[in-house]
Structure 1
Amino acid sequence: MFIKVLFVVTIGSFFSLVGTMLGASIGILFKKPSNRIIGCINAFAAGLMLSIVMIDLIPEAINKINFFNAMIFALMGMLIIMLIDLISDKNKMFSDSHLKIAFMAALGLMIHNFPEGIIMGAGFLANAELGIKMSILIAIHDVPEGIAVAAPLMASNKAAYKIMTYAFITALPTVLGSWLGVFLGSISEVVLGECLGVASGVMLYVIFGQMIPESLKLWRGKTVTISTLIGMIFGLVITNVL
């Protein structure tokens, strides 16, 4: 069991760090990526996430527990992440300086990355294929997160190594979450199903409550819609190939 846990944490760390660091690198390279680019990346990740949640995550939860219980725990996941979102909204009262934006973005992403780790850990315990799919999903999802951290720091003329360090720190909660996901999921099949149900709710809220609205706020052109559809198609490919 220890080896399996170590494997999950290693995979989780690798994929999460790759996505976040890649995003930070893009932020450093372009200094200030256009709203259109960030919006399209967010939309693509949202479409990808939606297809995998609906085709893999929720059905897997229903297989572990019944449909009614899966929906109850999905609702719980939505309520939990909604509470985090409401608390985060209060931060609008703070200064909008670049450093403050970077700090609050990093703090919010660290909170968000913890349940991502739980999703990954629970997914690997459910089955290896689901774990791999969730790892790839999270890696792609973390690319715009890395950009979100890097862009305001670049505007503040921070050194590249400091930006990469901050991006690395924001990805660490995913590692801790993957440990927790494995621990909770290894207790029983029922607990694993409950974890997957909660994870589904969290991801659905992030998709429709944050990622898609944010993408449309950044860029209202048709490219955002197209990016979402491409993400969904790519998710279908991942589901059938991996």
Structure 2
Amino acid sequence: MSSQLFSTLMGLGVGGSGIALGGIVAYGLGKYFERISGLILACSAGVIFSLLTFELLPESVSTGGLIATGIGIIMGIILIIRLELFFHKVVIITDNPSKSMFIRSGILLAIGVAIHNLPVGFAMGIGLVNYDKIGLDIATAMLLHNFPEGFAILLPLALSGLSRISIPLTASIVALPAGLGSFLGSSLGIINPKLLAIFFGIAIGTIFMVTWHEILGQAIKRTRRIHLFPSVITGLFLGILFTHLIL
């Protein structure tokens, strides 16, 4: 098997598996969603904010610098603003505004994670070809990292009432950039740190905007304030534990 094919399959497998596992957990909660959906959304928002603050942001800055990361974040925010306008007007048309919101949130989060998976897959491809251990370490980190992101993506889709077929479909779509990145990385073997930081920044900006506006916004509407703050703090704490003890 060629190195390019192996790297591509590794990227697809690792990227898709993490998302699928998170989705299985999200759908597994099933019957409890209506009663605790606000608490779950608030906790998920906390986890995402923690991962952005303590993992993705420092990783991006150390890779290509603060300026490149900042440029990417601004690009990501602008991208999501434009996509939200598009989805509000065109894509999601249902007879239930709440269902439309959850579907839109899932799609936008999936876009942000997909953008992030491209440079990570690129770095993994380089590592697998040139430095086996580094490549495998990145692959492990991607698998573990995509688990909470898969949960966050599939949770609003589950809340919208979509069937479990959403799990393999979403996992496949989000995994494609990881496979593409791995193929390019293993083929080129050269990475521009500043370009990588811009990609990371775009992912940070997109994921932050969707989480702030869609996920946390709905948690505020569905949860009493006395329960909202502890739920977000719990999510932040879980994210910190996940980042420092697992990744």
Q: Could you tell me the TM-score, scaled by structure 2's length?
A: 0.77
Instruction: Give the aligned residue type for 1:69.
Output: A
Alpha-carbon RMSD: 3.0
Residue 122 to residue 37, structure 1, CA distance change in 2 (3 Å): farther
Mapped partners of 2:196, 2:82: distance in 1? 23
- Please say if 1:134 is aligned against 2:145: yes
Q: CA deviation at 1:76?
A: 0.4
Mapped partners of 2:72, 2:236: distance in 1? 24
Consecutive unaligned residues in structure 2, runs of 5 or more: 125-136
Instruction: Give the aligned residue type for 2:82.
Output: L
Contact 1:146–1:167 (Cα < 8 Å) also in 2: no
1:45 is matched with 44
Mapped partners of 2:208, 2:117: distance in 1? 15
- Please say if 1:59 is aligned against 2:39: no
Contact 1:43–1:215 (Cα < 8 Å) also in 2: yes
The C-alpha deviation readout for 1:35-83, integer Å capped at 9, x for no partner, is x511111111111111111111111111222212211111101111121
Residue 184 to residue 39, structure 1, CA distance change in 2 (3 Å): farther
Contact 1:38–1:144 (Cα < 8 Å) also in 2: no
Mapped partners of 2:120, 2:55: distance in 1? 10
Residue 182 to residue 191, structure 1, CA distance change in 2 (3 Å): farther
Number of aligned residues = 225
Residue 123 to residue 97, structure 1, CA distance change in 2 (3 Å): same
Aligned ranges 1:69-218 → 2 under 5 Å: 69-90=68-89, 94-97=93-96, 101=99, 106=103, 109-110=106-107, 112-123=109-120, 125=123, 128=138, 130-149=141-160, 151=161, 163-182=163-182, 188=191, 189-218=193-222
Contact 2:116–2:203 (Cα < 8 Å) also in 1: yes
Instruction: Give the aligned residue type for 2:201.
Output: G
Q: Could you tell me the TM-score, scaled by structure 1's length?
A: 0.78
State, as a whole percentage, how many aligned pairs show the same letter: 20
